[in-house]
C-alpha cells in the first residue's frame, strides 16, 4: 500500500515538473511571439514610411502626395471650396550640387523643406516629388488673396541667401499655381497644369510665380472674393439706396422715384450695381439684399409722404431670383404693412429676362403681387425678348422703354419708329409708358410729342442720395 502511495506521489511530482516545463516553454514562445509581432509592426511602419515619405526631408513623397491630394479634392467638392496646388522648382539647384557636391545639395533641400513647412497652414501638405521639386497642397481656399499670399510668402523664403559650407548662396524658385476646380477637377489634370504653369514661370525668367490661367483664375477668384465680400457687406450694412426721379413728360413734375442700389465699399468707394448685381443674383444673395432695398426704400417713401410729398410713386427693381423666392408675396405684404405705405404707391420693376422662366408661373406670381395692390412695370423693354404676345400675357401696368432705344433716337429718322410703335402699342393695351435714359431736350420733346407718359434720365437728374432728392422735392413744392 505504502509502495503504491510513494509511486503515486512520484508520478504526481514528475507530472508537475513536466507541466511546469511546458508552461515555461509556452511563456517563452509567447514572449517570442510578442517580440516578433512588435518587430513586424515596426517593420510595417518602416515600410509604410519608406513607401510614403522622402527619407531626406521627411516630407511626404509622390505616393503620399497623391493620397493627400485626392482626399483634399473630395473634401473640397463636398464643402464647396477651392484647393490650390503650388509647384516649386529651384532654379539653380544644379549649381549647388556641381560646385559643393551632393552633401550640401541635400542640406539645401532639407533647409528648403523646413522653411516650406513653416509657411503653410497645419492642414496643408508640403511634399517632395523628387530632385529639387516640391509641391504644396493648400487645402481650404476661399479667396484669390489666400493663394497669392502663400505664393508671396514662398518667394519671401528665397529673398535671403542660404548658408552652405560656409558660403552664401542665393537660390531662386520658379513656382506654378493651379487651382481646383478651374484648372482641373482631377488630381492628374491639376498636376499636369501646375507643371505647365511652373514651366511658364521658368520661361518668364525664373524667380517668379505663375498661375496656370492667370486671367481666368484671377477673374474667377475675384468673383469668389466678390461673393464673400457681398455677404459681409450685407451684414455690415454697406449698401445705400440712391433715388432717381421719374418725371411726368408734359409737366416735368416728379411723380415717382426709382430706388437704385449702391455699395459703399470701404476700399473701392461707391459702386454701381453693374459691379455686383450679377454676382448677387447668381449666389441668391439678391433675395436678402432685395428685401433690404424694398424695406428701406418703403421706410424712406413713408417719411417723404409724411412730409407732404403724398403721391410719390416708389419703383423698386425685382430680380428673377426674387420672383422664384417662395416667400416673395409674404415678404412684400409684410414690408407694406410694417412700413405702413399705401400699396398702390409701390411699383415693382421686372425685366424681360423673366421670360426665361415658365410664363404661367411668372404670371401667377405677378397676379399675386397685383392682388396686394402693387403695380408691375416691365423694365428695360426692348433689350430681351421684346415679344409683343408676351406683353399681352403678363399682368403689368407699365412699360419702361430701355435707354438704348432712347439714346438711338434720331429725331425724324427710322430709329424713331420703334419708340413710336412701343408707345402706341402699350397705350392700346392700356399700359403707361416710361422712357429711360432721357439725356437731351430733343429726346424729351420727341417723347412729349409721342405721348410718352413719363421719363427718367440724366436730363432731369442722375440717381442721387436721399438728401439731394429731398431738396428737389422741396424745390418743386415751392
Chain positions contacting ligand C2E, by CB under 6 A = 244, 260-261, 272-274, 277, 286, 290, 293, 317, 319, 349, 379-380, 403, 436-439, 456-458, 463
Query: Choosing among Mg ion, ligand C2E, none, which partner's interface includes residue 368 (Cβ < 5 to 8 Å by kind)?
Result: none
- Residue 394 C-alpha cell reads as 403678363
Q: What angle do CA 430, 435, 437 make, to 5 degrees?
A: 165
Query: Choosing among Mg ion, ligand C2E, none, which partner's interface includes residue 457 (Cβ < 5 to 8 Å by kind)?
Result: ligand C2E
Closer by beta carbon to ligand C2E, 151 or else 297: 297
Smallest distance, Å, CB 462 to ligand C2E? Answer: 6
Closer by beta carbon to ligand C2E, 143 or else 353: 353
Closer by beta carbon to Mg ion, 64 or else 291: 291
Closer by beta carbon to ligand C2E, 139 or else 400: 400
Query: Choosing among Mg ion, ligand C2E, none, which partner's interface includes residue 277 (Cβ < 5 to 8 Å by kind)?
Result: ligand C2E
Task: Give me the torsion for CA of 464, 470, 473, 478, rounded to 10°.
Answer: -140
Query: Choosing among Mg ion, ligand C2E, none, which partner's interface includes residue 193 (Cβ < 5 to 8 Å by kind)?
Result: none
Query: Choosing among Mg ion, ligand C2E, none, which partner's interface includes residue 290 (Cβ < 5 to 8 Å by kind)?
Result: ligand C2E
Query: Choosing among Mg ion, ligand C2E, none, which partner's interface includes residue 173 (Cβ < 5 to 8 Å by kind)?
Result: none
Q: Cβ distance 177 to 84 under 8 Å?
A: yes
- The reply on whether position 379 binds Mg ion by CB under 5 A is yes
- Binding segment for Mg ion among 16-24, 68-76, 198-206, 373-381 (CB under 5 A)? 373-381
Q: In Å, what is the CA distance from 174 to each residue of 65, 103, 135, 210, 264? A: 20, 23, 11, 8, 39
Q: Cβ distance 378 to 398 under 8 Å?
A: yes
- Residue 276 C-alpha cell reads as 455686383
Buried b / exposed e over 281-310, threshold 16 CB at 10 Å, is bebebbbbbbbebbbbbbebbbebbeeebe
Question: How many residues bind Mg ion, per CB under 5 A?
Answer: 5
CA 368 to CA 2: how far, in whole Å? 116
Smallest distance, Å, CB 437 to ligand C2E? Answer: 4
Closer by beta carbon to Mg ion, 69 or else 366: 366
SS3 241: strand
**CB-based contacts of 476: which residues, under 8 Å, 6+ apart?**
253, 254
Instruction: Give the binding site for Mg ion (CB under 5 A).
Output: 317, 349, 379-380, 436
Amino acid at each position: 500500500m505504502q509502495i503504491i502511495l510513494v509511486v503515486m506521489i512520484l508520478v504526481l511530482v514528475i507530472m508537475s515538473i513536466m507541466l511546469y516545463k511546458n508552461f515555461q516553454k509556452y511563456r517563452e514562445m509567447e514572449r517570442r511571439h510578442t517580440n516578433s509581432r512588435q518587430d513586424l509592426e515596426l517593420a510595417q511602419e518602416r515600410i509604410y514610411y519608406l513607401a510614403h515619405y522622402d527619407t531626406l526631408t521627411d516630407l511626404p513623397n509622390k505616393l503620399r502626395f497623391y493620397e493627400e491630394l485626392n482626399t483634399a479634392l473630395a473634401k473640397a467638392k463636398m464643402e464647396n471650396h477651392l484647393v490650390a496646388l503650388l509647384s516649386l522648382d529651384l532654379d539653380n539647384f544644379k549649381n549647388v550640387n556641381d560646385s559643393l557636391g551632393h552633401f550640401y545639395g541635400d542640406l539645401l533641400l532639407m533647409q528648403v523643406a523646413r522653411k516650406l513647412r513653416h509657411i503653410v497652414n497645419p492642414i496643408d501638405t508640403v511634399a517632395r516629388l523628387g530632385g529639387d521639386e516640391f509641391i504644396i497642397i493648400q487645402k481650404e481656399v476661399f479667396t484669390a488673396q489666400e493663394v497669392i499670399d502663400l505664393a508671396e510668402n514662398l518667394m519671401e523664403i528665397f529673398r535671403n541667401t542660404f548658408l552652405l559650407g560656409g558660403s552664401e548662396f542665393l537660390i531662386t524658385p520658379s513656382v506654378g499655381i493651379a487651382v481646383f476646380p478651374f484648372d482641373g477637377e482631377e488630381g492628374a489634370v491639376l498636376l499636369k497644369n501646375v507643371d505647365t504653369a511652373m514651366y511658364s514661370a521658368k520661361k518668364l525668367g525664373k524667380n517668379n510665380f505663375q498661375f496656370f490661367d492667370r486671367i481666368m483664375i484671377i477673374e474667377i477668384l475675384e468673383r469668389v472674393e466678390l461673393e464673400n465680400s457681398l455677404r459681409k457687406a450685407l451684414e455690415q450694412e454697406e449698401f445705400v439706396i440712391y433715388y432717381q426721379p421719374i418725371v411726368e413728360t408734359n409737366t416735368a413734375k416728379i411723380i415717382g422715384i426709382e430706388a437704385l442700389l449702391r455699395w459703399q465699399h470701404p476700399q473701392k468707394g461707391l459702386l454701381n450695381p453693374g459691379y455686383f448685381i450679377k454676382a448677387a443674383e447668381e449666389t441668391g444673395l439678391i433675395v436678402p439684399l432685395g428685401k433690404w432695398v424694398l424695406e428701406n426704400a418703403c421706410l424712406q417713401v413713408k417719411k417723404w409722404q409724411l412730409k407732404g410729398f403724398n403721391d410719390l410713386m416708389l419703383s423698386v427693381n425685382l430680380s428673377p431670383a426674387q420672383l422664384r423666392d417662395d416667400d416673395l408675396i409674404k415678404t412684400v405684404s409684410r414690408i407694406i404693412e410694417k412700413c405702413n405705405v399705401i400699396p398702390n404707391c409701390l411699383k415693382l420693376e421686372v425685366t424681360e429676362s423673366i421670360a426665361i422662366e415658365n410664363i404661367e408661373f411668372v404670371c401667377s406670381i405677378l397676379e399675386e403681387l397685383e392682388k396686394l395692390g402693387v403695380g408691375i412695370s416691365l423694365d428695360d423693354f426692348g433689350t430681351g425678348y421684346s415679344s409683343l404676345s408676351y406683353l399681352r400675357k403678363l399682368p403689368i401696368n407699365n412699360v419702361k422703354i430701355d435707354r438704348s432705344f432712347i439714346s438711338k433716337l434720331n429725331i425724324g429718322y427710322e430709329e424713331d419708329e420703334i419708340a413710336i410703335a412701343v408707345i402706341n402699342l402699350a397705350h392700346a393695351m392700356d399700359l403707361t409708358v416710361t422712357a429711360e435714359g432721357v439725356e437731351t431736350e430733343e429726346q424729351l420733346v420727341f417723347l412729349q410729342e409721342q405721348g410718352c407718359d413719363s421719363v427718367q434720365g440724366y436730363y432731369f437728374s442722375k440717381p442721387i442720395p436721399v438728401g439731394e432728392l429731398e431738396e428737389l422735392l422741396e424745390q418743386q413744392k415751392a
